[in-house]
Amino acid sequence: MHAYFDNAATTPLDPQVLDAMLPYLGQHFGNPSSLHGPGRQVRSAIEQARKSVAGLLNAAPSEITFTSGGTEADNYAIFGSVRTLGLRHAITSPLEHHAVLHPLQALAKTGETQLSYLRHDAQGNLDLAHLEELLATHPRSFVSLMHGNNELGNLNDIQAIGEICTRYDAIFHTDTVQTMGHYAHDVQQLPAQFLVGSAHKFHGPKGVGFLYRRGGVEVGPLIHGGSQERNIRSGTENVYGIVGLAKALEIACADMAAHRRHVQGLKSRFIEQLTAGLPGVQFNGRSADADASLYTVLSVSLPPSSISEMLLFSLDINKVAASGGSACTSGAQLGSHVLEALGAAPNRPTVRLSMSKLNTTAEVDYAAAQLVKLYQPVAA
């Protein structure tokens, strides 16, 4: 058996999504900016995908911009807001993904904006009273706080955050990469100016994402050189990727309730088996709280062991695919900035187990057994 539990990094492509993409990898090859028939046919597919994504978010098609993924969408929202709207103060959290932290830190380094970090507790709960204090001092700020933490699984109350931002005329961007396709997002109810999505997090293709930008929020482009995407995002569109993204989001939203029940059951099974088999096991942040965390992510803090440094490698040898945190930093010899911010014990290795609709209870049982086996006490 091979058990894949790194779905927060990427999910397998749904076969129905591949079927939708294939015609645009072959016979429908026209450039969507061309005025002839083959070009118009491809342009029509892009616009239909835009309408589909917009409809699922209760947005207008003009509010959806297709990008190369979540990182580009985050960067566009951040650089575009600060530079075009002249926002001299930004607020974020130390627990954000680097796709948010690094652009904001770059803008702070050049002096284009001042950057404040929101306080949080040892479980990663954000201090919304502190947010209100910061906005009372800097009312017209750019606020970027994610919906679901990609490492801990913590869910933030973005409805409450958005309402606070509205009271202080702040621009609110929320990184929804980990929750898009897994939770419903209605932009008519959510007071946010920007949301993002990345197709490969909900069984779509890699290399394509989108930005929702609320109508009336005019910001400049991040990429220059053409008039594509209504002069917002230059470059010939990733047509088959865009078609695949829309199809994947349609499937995810249609089956969301059933998938959530299934995956939440897998996560609960992991918690039960690891708690029983590993005395001293802990779960980071609010990861084990079904009401306060992503049902797809479980962050496991394991007791110290002689195998700690080789844990992920040992799991891989035993055909269990998992990660220590964000896949974006897996190639660097750096600890998790999220766990460091929480003050996690450095001698307790962390495994992030992230699940999808395709995982089974047999895979959970196998992966849990491998973890327990690897952490048996070493003989004296």
**Could you tell me if 269 and 246 are in contact, meaning their C-beta atoms sit under 8 angstroms apart?**
no
Confidence check: pLDDT of 104 > 90? yes
d(CA 113, CA 93): 16
Q: Which tens digits make up the pLDDT trace of 336-370?
A: 899 888 887 777 889 999 999 999 999 999 999 99
pLDDT at 380: 40
Two structure tokens written together for 66: 């297709």
Confidence check: pLDDT of 146 > 90? yes
Q: Which tens digits make up the pLDDT trace of 205-249?
A: 999 999 999 999 989 888 888 889 888 898 999 999 999 999 999
Say what the pTM is.
0.94
d(CA 309, CA 323): 13
pLDDT at 162: 98
Q: Reply yes or no on whether 328 is catalytic.
A: yes
**Could you tell me if 263 and 115 are in contact, meaning their C-beta atoms sit under 8 angstroms apart?**
no
The residues near 11 (Cβ < 8 Å, ≥ 6 apart) are 200, 201, 202, 203, 204, 356, 358
Confidence check: pLDDT of 328 > 80? no
For residue 344, give the H/E element and its range: none
**Other CB atoms closer than 10 Å to residue 133's CB: what's the count?**
14
pLDDT at 134: 98
The CATH number fitting domain 15-254, selected from 3.30.70.270, 1.10.760.10, 3.40.640.10, 3.20.20.80: 3.40.640.10
pLDDT at 38: 87
In the chain, beta strands by DSSP E: 3-4, 64-67, 89-92, 114-117, 142-144, 171-174, 194-198, 209-213, 282-283, 297-301, 320-321, 350-354
The residues near 299 (Cβ < 8 Å, ≥ 6 apart) are 151, 152, 153, 283, 284, 285, 287, 350, 351, 352
Q: Report the b/e string of 241-256 with b at 16+ CB within 10 A.
A: bbbbbbbbbbbbbeeb
d(CA 29, CA 41): 9
Q: Which fold has domain 3-11+256-374?
A: Aspartate Aminotransferase, domain 1 (3.90.1150)
d(CA 95, CA 207): 24
The three-state secondary structure class of 171 is: strand
pLDDT at 173: 98
How far the first Cα of the chain sits from its last, in Å, is 32
Confidence check: pLDDT of 111 > 60? yes
* Residue 38 falls in which region: left (phi positive, over 0), alpha (psi -120 to 50) or beta: alpha
pLDDT at 343: 81
For CATH 3.40.640.10, list the domain ranges present in the chain.
15-254
d(CA 360, CA 355): 9
Average confidence score pLDDT of the chain: 93
Q: Which tens digits make up the pLDDT trace of 76-85?
A: 999 999 999 9
The three-state secondary structure class of 42 is: helix
Residue 330 — very low, low, confident or very high, per pLDDT cuts 50/70/90?
A: very low
Q: Which tens digits make up the pLDDT trace of 155-174?
A: 999 999 999 999 999 999 99
Confidence check: pLDDT of 71 > 90? yes
% pLDDT > 90, the chain: 80
The residues near 328 (Cβ < 8 Å, ≥ 6 apart) are 97, 98, 99
For CATH 3.90.1150.10, list the domain ranges present in the chain.
3-11+256-374
Q: Choose the catalytic residue: 106, 160, 258, 328.
A: 328
- At what angle are helices 98-109 and 70-85 packed, to 10 degrees? 30
d(CA 192, CA 102): 21
Of 15-29, 124-138, 321-335, the one with minimum mean pLDDT is 321-335
pLDDT at 379: 47
Average pLDDT of 277-296? Answer: 95
* C-alpha pair distances (Å), 235 with each of 21, 33, 84, 338: 20, 10, 21, 34
